[in-house]
């Protein structure tokens, strides 16, 4: 049970995020749902609260493609909640065109820059609430990714599937570097591959593929496990699949590149490196 614990889940109005928020609410946590759309978010909040029999389910609105809105979200969390025990960076997308208001490729911005900034802005709250956990929803597609620091610094990152793979690799490397920085603080950081999940992000696969995809409920199991299971309370800096720690890509373990990526990202989002 998570009585007295505060858990924040991004992208919580549908798919795996909604299932994760529901499971944590059923464990009696105070759940903070972060959604972009007020109508959909409020409908999901009411549904989760009713199903879980838990009135401590809140909704905060944020467009994660905007760094200003991410900063606003972090400030609201710090002001409204005196503690934060679990941060699940679940929100993600696959975009084939367009840039954000800040001039970044949309997929890379939402899947990586937003969780990087949000997590850093909430680190002190997580530390003061320890033991606490950061859970980043990555993907097996990170094996096909590559970190080109020059392209990132110049905001010249690819789009489409390339952006998706690169963003998930960056998220895995961020998780590992974050875990190293959080040693002895009581805050853990882990990432995961949820499996091929039939959620809104995969509208592209043909109908024949969908029967082979996991349900959102099944896909959320590892996120829920990392957010709540006692046996991983002190586990940090790992990549999980089906609740089991697995080896991630070779590039993801390059510590010098991870450090350089951290510094480059800090400059892009306006944080002190």
For 168-197, how does the pLDDT look when each residue is reduced to its tens digit (9 = 90+)? 999 999 999 999 999 999 999 999 999 754
Q: Residue 23: inside a domain, yes or no?
A: yes
Q: Residue 138: inside a domain, yes or no?
A: yes
Q: Residue 211: inside a domain, yes or no?
A: yes
235 neighbors 188 (Cβ within 8 angstroms): yes
201 neighbors 210 (Cβ within 8 angstroms): no
Q: Residue 163: inside a domain, yes or no?
A: yes
Q: Residue 157: its pLDDT value, please?
A: 82
Q: Residue 1: inside a domain, yes or no?
A: no
Q: Is 112 a catalytic residue?
A: no
Q: Residue 110: inside a domain, yes or no?
A: yes
- pLDDT (tens, 9 = 90+) of the chain, 273 residues, equals 899 999 999 999 999 999 999 999 999 999 999 999 999 999 999 999 999 999 999 999 999 999 999 999 999 999 999 999 999 999 999 988 789 999 999 999 999 999 999 999 999 999 999 999 999 999 999 999 999 999 999 988 877 898 999 999 999 999 999 999 999 999 999 999 997 544 554 445 444 434 445 788 998 999 999 999 999 999 999 999 999 999 999 999 999 999 999 999 999 999 975
For 29, the domain range is: 6-269
Question: Tokens 């609740």 — which residue?
Answer: 243
Q: What distance in Å separates the CA atoms of residue 58 and residue 150, rounded to the nearest whole number?
A: 40
Q: Residue 159: inside a domain, yes or no?
A: yes
Could you say which of 81, 112, 164, 225 is catalytic? Answer: 164
The model carries a pTM of 0.93
For 139-159, how does the pLDDT look when each residue is reduced to its tens digit (9 = 90+)? 999 999 999 999 999 988 877
What angle do helix axes 15-26 and 38-52 make, rounded to 10 degrees?
30
Q: Residue 196: its pLDDT value, please?
A: 56
Report the number of distinct structural domains present in the chain. Answer: 1
Q: Residue 209: its pLDDT value, please?
A: 36
- DSSP class of residue 215 equals P
Query: Which two structure tokens, joined as six digits, stand for 72?
Result: 């606003």
Domain CATH code at residue 156: 3.40.50.720
Q: Rounded to the nearest 5 degrees, what angle is found at the Cα of 255, between the Cα atoms of 253 and 259?
A: 130
β-partners of residue 58 are 32
- DSSP class of residue 222 equals H
Q: Residue 232: inside a domain, yes or no?
A: yes
């Amino acid at each position: 049970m998570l009585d007295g614990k505060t858990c924040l889940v991004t992208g919580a109005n549908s798919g795996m995020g909604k299932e994760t928020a529901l499971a944590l609410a059923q464990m009696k946590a105070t759940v903070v749902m972060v959604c972009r759309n007020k109508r959909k978010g409020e409908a999901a909040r009411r549904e989760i609260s009713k199903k879980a029999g838990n009135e401590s389910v809140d909704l905060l609105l944020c467009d994660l493609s905007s760094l200003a809105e991410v900063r606003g979200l972090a400030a609201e969390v710090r002001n409204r909640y005196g503690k934060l025990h679990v941060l699940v960076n679940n929100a993600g997308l696959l975009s084939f065109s367009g840039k954000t208001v800040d001039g970044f490729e949309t997929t890379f911005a939402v899947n990586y820059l937003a969780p990087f900034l949000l997590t850093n802005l909430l680190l002190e709250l997580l530390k003061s609430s320890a033991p606490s956990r950061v859970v980043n929803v990555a993907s097996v597609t990170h094996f096909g990714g590559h970190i080109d620091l020059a392209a990132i610094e110049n905001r010249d990152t690819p789009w489409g599937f390339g952006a998706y793979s690169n963003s998930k690799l960056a998220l895995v490397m961020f998780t590992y570097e974050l875990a190293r920085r959080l040693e002895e603080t009581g805050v853990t950081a882990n990432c995961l591959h949820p499996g091929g999940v039939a959620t809104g992000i995969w509208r592209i696969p043909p109908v024949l593929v969908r029967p082979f995809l996991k349900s959102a409920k099944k896909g959320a199991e590892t996120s829920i496990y990392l957010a709540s299971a006692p046996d991983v309370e002190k586990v940090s800096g790992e990549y999980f699949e089906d609740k089991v720690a697995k080896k991630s890509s070779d590039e993801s373990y390059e510590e010098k590149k991870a450090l350089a990526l951290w510094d480059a990202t800090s400059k892009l989002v306006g944080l002190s490196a």
